[in-house]
A and B are shown apart, each in its own frame.
Chain A
Amino acid sequence: MELDELKYVWRSAAVPAVRDQQHSAIAEILQRGGRHAVGTMKRNLGRETLLLLLYAPLIIWYFAGFHGKLRELGWFVFFVLIFFAVYYYIKNRLLSAMLLPEAQVKTSLERQVRGLERLLRFYLVSGTLLAPLSLIFLFFLLYQRLPPPLHPNLFYPSRGTPGWQLPLSLGIITAGCTVALYFANRWYIKTLYGRHLTRLKALLEEITAQ
């Protein structure tokens, strides 16, 4: 098969399948949302942000209800909300930076690979950070608000216990949860975006190869 000889055949070929799209059909397409991977991620982000807003009344409830006894919990929910708001903002910026369909194919692939890698790194770091921050806050809440139990336990050791034992126990619990969440997040990211990223990288490698 010689490609040069097939140019004529190719160019004179009739277009099968979807050729019956009329003007009105194109106009209709313009009203719909697309299935582009980044576009879908942006739409999902929008939905998650809406869910976050539904979560906001909890803050008022914790502040105003329970005779003010759960104010710390209200602060906790508030900080989680701020954390996610910042997270969504950064994620949206990264996703927007990935969308440049009018660029050269190689540039577009480079942008997508770089953008997705940054996004996943950010997702991993922020998702993992949530564990130690939440636990530190919960420990703080526990020692501030709840009365000590009658019998000593891991979190309330007896008087004779060396002072380093409690911070060490809390440290081990926090570290354990953080490591577990790190691996859980890594697995989740790989399941969601792993194949897409591998494919984009392979395409980029192919296009840049000499």
Chain B
Amino acid sequence: MDPSLRQGEFIGLVDLHRAILHKICNLYCAQTHDRQDLFQEMVLQLWKAYPKFRGEAKISTWLYRIALNTAISGLRKKKDHIVIVEPQQLAGTLDNEQQVESLENQEKLQQLHAAIAQLSDIEKALVMLYLEDKSYAEMEEILGISQNNLRVKMNRIKEKLRKITKQ
């Protein structure tokens, strides 16, 4: 395939799944410049792996694998901090009812991010996939952990998050 065509196709693909990449960045990095670094690194790794992608796995599975591998083990990261998402960031363009709901959601999201920040890198990946509504079979395909073990780990994480939020 023509390299410029291939690049265009790849950029379209990244654009389509950008939300996944951003969510991973937000989960693993607290500082804006770290998030940008991680985003760039994930895009680069995806680009390098793109010619070898044969479509044997679902594109989202392939993308999750590369993005999580990069986030978990690729970068020498600085110590994580709790991510603070300001509720006001979204509120400006919504009507009153939407604003109330949005603010509530943002508050919940902020609590969730603060709790997740206290989890290990592997646990973060599990929570992310769980929140994205991935099946245990898909999670197994991405992480390489057996489904039984995933269920056990997820139960432990849920319990851990309950404890964290009670504190």
Contacts and interface: CB of A to CB of B under 8 A. Distances in A.
- How big is chain A's contact interface, by range? 35 or more
Interface string B93-115: 00000000000010011011001
A101 B43 CA distance: 12
A203 B41 contact: no
Contacts of B144: 103-107, 207
Interface string A7-44: 10111111111110101001101101011111000000
A1 interface: yes
Contacts of B2: none
Nearest to A21: B39
B40 A3 contact: no
A206 B152 CA distance: 13
- Looking at chain B, what size class is its interface with the partner chain? 35 or more
Interface of A: 1-3, 6-7, 9-19, 21, 23, 26-27, 29-30, 32, 34-38, 101-109, 112, 196, 200, 203, 206-207, 210
Interface of B: 7, 10-11, 14-15, 18-19, 22-23, 25-26, 32, 35-37, 39-41, 43-45, 47-49, 52-53, 62, 65-66, 68-70, 72-76, 85, 89-90, 105, 108-109, 111-112, 115, 120-122, 125, 127, 130-133, 141-145, 149, 152, 157-158, 161-162, 164-165
For the complex of A and B, the 9 pairs showing the least CB-CB separation, nearest first, are: A106-B144, A104-B144, A15-B22, A1-B165, A10-B131, A34-B44, A36-B74, A102-B49, A101-B66
